[in-house]
Amino acid sequence: NMGVVKLKVSGMTCEHCVNTVKRALMSVDGVSDVSVSLEKGEVEVITQKDIELQALKSAIEEWGYKVLGEV
């Protein structure tokens, strides 16, 4: 199932942070696209199959950022 997951993420403060989070999420199986709003602290993930929220959360938090919840 294709879908969209939008997450509130804290700790992203620069363009390098944005790239790190994008790379982390793009490496999760089933993720086809990621866009990040640095100002809003929001991450939008496009998925091509059902993915556990925890998998996305882990990928982000592994890099030191914090997922505050779904938007």
Choice from 5, 6, 8, 17 touching ligand 9UX (CB under 6 A): 17
Q: What are phi and psi of 59, to 5 degrees?
A: -60, -40
Is 55 one of the binding residues for ligand 9UX (CB under 6 A)?
no
If the CB atoms of residues 7 and 12 are measured against ligand 9UX, the closer one turns out to be: 12
- Dihedral sign computed on CA atoms, order 11, 46, 28, 70: positive
Question: Taking contact as CB under 6 A, which single stretch among the options 9-17, 29-37, 46-54, 55-63 is the one that binds ligand 9UX?
Answer: 9-17
Its sign, for the CA torsion 39, 53, 4, 16, is positive
